[in-house]
Structure 1
């Protein structure tokens, strides 16, 4: 593979424009090569986005529990009010539905985040 700008052998590809670059045309930014003086800012920005994405993935499994726990809490509340009001079927059914929905979301999120972290680590 030859350099996009020179008839010399390329040592890598610009992370922004995907052009082959020789050692004279590229800047090594540790996490990728960039066209010297042209795409350095863009590649630095891409590297920052990748690092931020890694951080957000690490906190996602914990944050995904807030919704299901809230649903379970609401379900228990409705179920309790239904029992307290003389076995009110509508409130008890609503409560059971919220609890089942919350547990289903927890099961889905556990499976989903296990799959994501397995694929992400590979």
Structure 2
């Protein structure tokens, strides 16, 4: 692959448009990625911002799900212990334990998302 501006062998490829770049044409984004122009640098920066915001929202959603599951699990377990209907006791306690397990899963997922960002 040749450089888009010079007839020499390309040393890198723009992360946005895929054009070949020689060592004289290479520009770096703030995150140290290769780009061929200010427009491509801007596009790469915007894309990285969107990805970062999406990961943050995903983490927050998982935490909300975890806390909601913990609360519902506790309510189901409490109701299971204080109800007088034996068939209902087993069902509500089982659902409560399942909700607590689901909360733990969401909590783990949120923690792993925060390590990625």
TM-score normalized by the length of structure 1: 0.64
* CA distance in 1 between partners of 2:47 and 2:23 (Å): 21
Which residue number corresponds to residue 76 of structure 2?
Answer: 75
Which residue number corresponds to residue 94 of structure 2?
Answer: 97
TM-score normalized by the length of structure 2: 0.66
Gaps of 5+ in 1: none
Which residue number corresponds to residue 15 of structure 1?
Answer: 15
**CA displacement at 1:112 relative to structure 2:** 4.9
* CA distance in 2 between partners of 1:108 and 1:44 (Å): 32
* CA distance in 1 between partners of 2:35 and 2:13 (Å): 8
Shift of the 100–75 alpha-carbon distance from structure 1 to 2, 3 Å rule, reads same
* CA distance in 1 between partners of 2:55 and 2:107 (Å): 18
Q: Structure 2 matches for 1:36-51, cutoff 5 A? A: 36-51=37-52
**CA displacement at 1:51 relative to structure 2:** 3.4
> How many aligned residue pairs are there?
116
Q: Structure 2 matches for 1:61-72, cutoff 5 A? A: 62-72=63-73
RMSD: 3.3
**CA displacement at 1:16 relative to structure 2:** 1.2
**CA displacement at 1:69 relative to structure 2:** 0.5
Gaps of 5+ in 2: none
Shift of the 57–36 alpha-carbon distance from structure 1 to 2, 3 Å rule, reads same
